[in-house]
């Protein structure tokens, strides 16, 4: 009797999960139809265009404002070589990093955004080229930023030497350790998440426990304080005692915050293979690709704020998830479709006439004016699809004008031979087999479900009391009360954890049983254990009473 409704509920659940991880029919052009060779050429042409705007100090004009953006470009040069299995920019980057170090000393950046961009770039360059100089640069940045990161001892003391205010040791009853201050200013109390990725990259590249622990502490801080119930990362938190743990909330959250955490967690997962981190990544990635706060309507194109600006962090994070195999095959396809939307929007709507200059909004219109931020955002979208397998056609169906072959653009012969330009399309005659596979799969699932339900029913006949099994006991952070935010969703640490074998029926049964008197419960248990019939005066043996038991 219970088999049909149980199976129906299971199928509805399975259908809902699948629907939650597939491309929306409203997304604009999720399929990438440009060959891999052309994708590589497009990305490198955009990189080369950006390089032409660097001055003799390897900076964009007005370095005080664009210093951090040059660091993003350095990281992208190393990422491009890593994606295409080359060392084209190795020597160039060594020169750039040396010059950038001198530039930083000259004007002293007010915040860590720029330095962390260079740290990220140096760590990626070390992973790509295995050159010790890049590791040294990354470690120098990490050491500087570490002095502005709260340790548990700092929290216990209530202060750090570089800040002129008392630090709140907890927010919502949870330690504030692990957060990094956004600015160097001695009176700025804002903490954000930017250091997570660098610590994780260094842990992955060196295997040193110091970096791994720093990455974990940062991830714990974000999970406890900045990750909301919708699995979206909020901008920051003020930890001064007079700030009352206020969140730096905006009308719409920015996609780069979630991107930074997703990237850091994906790298952490590649080190630990922790199932809870894997699950968290899946929830965050799904939420990020569906969040209306940074999408243009329902077309799926990233558009932050009132100006509908693009972003490089979320595409980079999603590429990292795929590269680290930190997702299921279903979600990987979902990510590929989302990145395809960004790639096609950049090529169709944000540039024109083969200029290789890109606008700030990927919804268009194109712009003839070069902007370092706009260019590096677009470069990330272009590079994010280089190694995607979801090619449906070798025909260039977009309005893109492809760059001509030249010395500055990678030729097809320089690409790794193991990566084909296009995946073969299955012939139509094999299509009917898909139905057979789906039918066989569903039939197998029905059979397994039937056997499972039958086994459960048999066991329930033999036992009155069933114990719920919870193998998913490992958590990224300890559950704790939420921050005192009226009307806001509960933090991630209070989200319910999936328990294998638990059902609403068993929860209801436990609730009813818990209302029975203790002597009645013991009597029922005694009769079941001794296999005796109910009778008047039949009582269980006496049990000793302790001070803590009742």
Tokens of 538: 């039949």
pLDDT-based confidence at 66, cuts 50/70/90? confident
Whether residue 513 is contained in a domain is answered as yes
Domain range for 511? 503-543
257 within some domain: no
Q: Is residue 424 part of a domain?
A: no
Q: Both tokens of residue 14?
A: 């399975």
* Phi, psi angles (nearest 5°) of residue 515: -90, -10
Give pLDDT, residue 78: 98
| Residue 513 pLDDT grade (very low, low, confident, very high; cuts 50, 70, 90) | very low
As a whole number, mean pLDDT of residues 255-271 equals 96
Q: How many CA atoms lie within 13 A of 428 on its CB side?
A: 0
At residue 469, the pLDDT reads 29
The pLDDT of residue 515 is 53
On whether residue 533 sits in a domain, the answer given is yes
More confident residue, 88 or 412: 88
* 393-415 mean pLDDT: 41
What stretches of 21-62 show up as alpha helix (H) in DSSP? Answer: 36-51
- Distance CA(26)–CA(46), nearest Å, equals 28
297 vs 141 pLDDT, higher one:
141
- Please name which of 286, 313, 302 lies closest in space to residue 252, comparing C-alpha atoms: 302
What are the pLDDT digits (tens) for 453-490? 555 554 554 443 333 323 223 333 333 333 333 344 34
Q: Report the Cα 237 to chain-centroid distance in Å.
A: 20
What are the contacts of 147-151 at 24+ separation with CB within 8 A?
Answer: 148/112, 148/180, 148/181, 148/184, 149/178, 149/179, 149/180, 149/181, 149/195, 149/214, 149/218, 150/176, 150/177, 150/178, 150/179, 150/180, 150/181, 150/191, 150/239, 151/177
Q: Looking at residues 384-403, what average pLDDT do you find?
A: 61
pLDDT at 426 over 70: no
Q: At 288, list the tokens.
A: 């990020």
- Residue 524 is predicted with a pLDDT of 57
Residue 338: per-residue pLDDT: 97
Residue 521 lies in a domain: yes
Question: Which residues does residue 240 pair with via DSSP β-bridges, in sequence order?
Answer: 167
* Count of other CB atoms within 10 angstroms of residue 115: 24
**Is position 526 within any domain?**
yes
Q: What is the reported pTM?
A: 0.70
pLDDT tens digit string along 176-227?
Answer: 999 999 888 899 999 887 777 899 999 999 999 999 999 999 999 999 999 9
Higher pLDDT: 222 or 415? It is 222
Half-sphere exposure of 400 (CA within 13 A, CB side): 26
For residue 249, name the pLDDT band (cuts at 50, 70, 90): low
- Other C-beta atoms within 10 Å of 396: how many? 14
SS3 of 251, please? coil
The phi, psi pair for 48, rounded to 5°, reads -65, -35
Alpha-carbon distance values, 200 to 119, 138, 217, 423 (Å)? 12, 12, 11, 33
Average pLDDT for 136-164: 92
Question: What average pLDDT does this structure show over 496-500?
Answer: 37
Q: Where is pLDDT greater, at 470 or 336?
A: 336
What are the residues whose beta carbons fall under 8 Å from the beta carbon of 411, sequence distance 6 or more? 405
Least-confidence region, from 94-108, 257-271, 434-448? 434-448
Across the chain, mean pLDDT equals 76
* 173 pLDDT higher than 80: yes
Average pLDDT over residues 19-42: 88
pLDDT at residue 455, as a whole number: 54
Please say whether the beta carbons of 174 and 480 come within 8 A: yes
Segment 234-244 mean pLDDT: 89
Asked whether the beta carbons of 103 and 145 are under 8 A apart, the reply is: no
Phi then psi for residue 35, to 5 deg, are -65, 160
Most confident of 69-78, 455-464, 535-544: 69-78
Three-state DSSP string of 488-504: CCCCHHHCCCCCCCCCH
277 vs 265: CA distance, rounded Å: 7
pLDDT in the model for residue 112: 57
Parallel/antiparallel/unpaired status of strands 180-181 and 237-238: unpaired
191 sits in which H/E element: strand 190-192
For the cut 50, the answer to whether the pLDDT of residue 124 exceeds it is: yes
Write phi, then psi, for 438 (nearest 5 degrees). -60, -45
Query: Are the C-beta atoms of residues 395 and 383 closer than 8 Å to each other?
Result: no
Whether residue 361 is predicted with pLDDT greater than 60 in this model: the reply is yes
Residue 397 dihedral angles phi and psi, to the nearest 5°: -90, -5
Mean pLDDT (whole number) for 508-536: 52
Residue 420: per-residue pLDDT: 35
Give the tens place of pLDDT for each residue, 265-301.
Answer: 999 999 999 999 999 999 999 999 999 989 878 999 9
Residues 97, 231: Cα–Cα separation, whole Å: 36
Q: Is residue 246 part of a domain?
A: no
Say whether pLDDT at 432 is over 80: no
Q: Are strands 174-175 and 170-171 parallel, antiparallel or unpaired?
A: antiparallel
What pLDDT is recorded for position 519?
Answer: 60
Position 508 in a domain: yes
How far apart CA 190 and CA 169 sit, in angstroms, is: 14
- Looking at the 3D structure of the chain, how many domains does it have? 1
- Mean pLDDT of all residues in 501-524: 49
192 pairs with which residues across the strands?
A: 180
């Amino acid at each position: 009797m219970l088999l049909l409704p149980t199976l129906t509920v299971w199928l509805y659940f399975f259908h809902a999960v699948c629907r939650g991880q597939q491309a929306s029919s409203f997304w604009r052009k999720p399929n990438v139809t440009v060959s891999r060779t052309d994708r590589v050429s497009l990305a490198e042409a955009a990189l080369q265009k950006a390089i032409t705007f660097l001055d003799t100090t390897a900076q964009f004009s007005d370095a005080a404002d664009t210093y951090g953006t040059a660091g993003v470009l350095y990281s992208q040069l190393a990422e491009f070589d890593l994606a295409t299995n080359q060392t084209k920019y190795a020597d160039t980057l060594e020169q750039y990093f040396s010059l950038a170090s001198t530039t930083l000393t000259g004007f002293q950046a007010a915040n860590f955004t720029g330095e962390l961009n260079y740290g990220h770039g140096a760590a990626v360059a070390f992973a790509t080229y295995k050159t010790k100089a890049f590791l040294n640069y990354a470690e120098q940045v990490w050491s500087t930023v570490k002095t502005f990161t709260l340790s548990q001892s700092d929290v216990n003391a209530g202060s750090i030497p570089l800040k002129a205010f008392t630090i709140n040791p907890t927010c919502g009853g949870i330690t504030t350790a692990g957060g990094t201050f956004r600015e160097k200013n001695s009176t700025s109390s804002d903490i954000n998440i930017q250091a997570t990725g660098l610590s994780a990259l260094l842990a992955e590249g060196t295997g040193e426990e110091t970096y791994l622990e720093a990455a974990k502490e940062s991830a714990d801080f974000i999970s406890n304080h900045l990750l909301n119930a919708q699995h979206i990362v909020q901008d920051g938190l003020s930890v001064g005692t007079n700030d009352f743990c206020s969140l730096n909330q905006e009308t719409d959250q920015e996609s780069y915050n979630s991107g930074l955490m997703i990237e850091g967690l994906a790298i952490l997962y590649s080190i630990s293979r922790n199932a809870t981190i894997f699950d968290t990544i899946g929830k965050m990635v799904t939420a990020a690709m569906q969040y209306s706060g940074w999408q243009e309507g329902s077309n799926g194109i990233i558009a932050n704020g009132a100006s509908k600006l693009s972003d490089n962090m979320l595409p980079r994070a999603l590429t990292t998830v795929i590269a680290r195999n930190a997702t299921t095959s279903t979600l990987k396809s979902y990510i590929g479709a989302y990145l395809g939307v960004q790639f096609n929007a950049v090529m169709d709507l944000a540039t024109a006439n083969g200029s290789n200059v890109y606008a700030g909004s990927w919804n268009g219109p194109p712009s003839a004016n070069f902007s370092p931020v706009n260019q590096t955002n677009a470069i990330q979208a272009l590079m994010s699809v280089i190694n995607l397998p979801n090619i449906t056609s070798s025909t260039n169906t977009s309005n893109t004008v492809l760059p001509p072959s030249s010395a500055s653009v990678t030729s097809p012969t320089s690409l790794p031979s193991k990566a084909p330009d296009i995946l073969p399309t299955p012939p139509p005659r094999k299509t009917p087999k898909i139905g057979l596979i789906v039918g066989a799969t569903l039939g197998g699932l029905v059979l397994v479900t039937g056997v499972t339900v039958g086994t459960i029913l048999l066991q329930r006949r033999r036992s009155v009391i069933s114990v719920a099994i919870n193998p998913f006991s490992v958590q990224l952070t300890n559950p704790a009360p939420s921050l005192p935010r009226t009307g806001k969703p509960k933090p991630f640490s209070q989200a319910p954890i999936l328990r294998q074998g638990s059902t609403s029926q068993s929860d209801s049964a436990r609730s009813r049983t818990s209302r029975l008197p203790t002597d009645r419960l013991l009597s029922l248990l005694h009769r079941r254990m001794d296999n005796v019939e109910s009778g008047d005066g039949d009582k269980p043996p006496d049990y000793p009473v302790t001070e803590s038991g009742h």
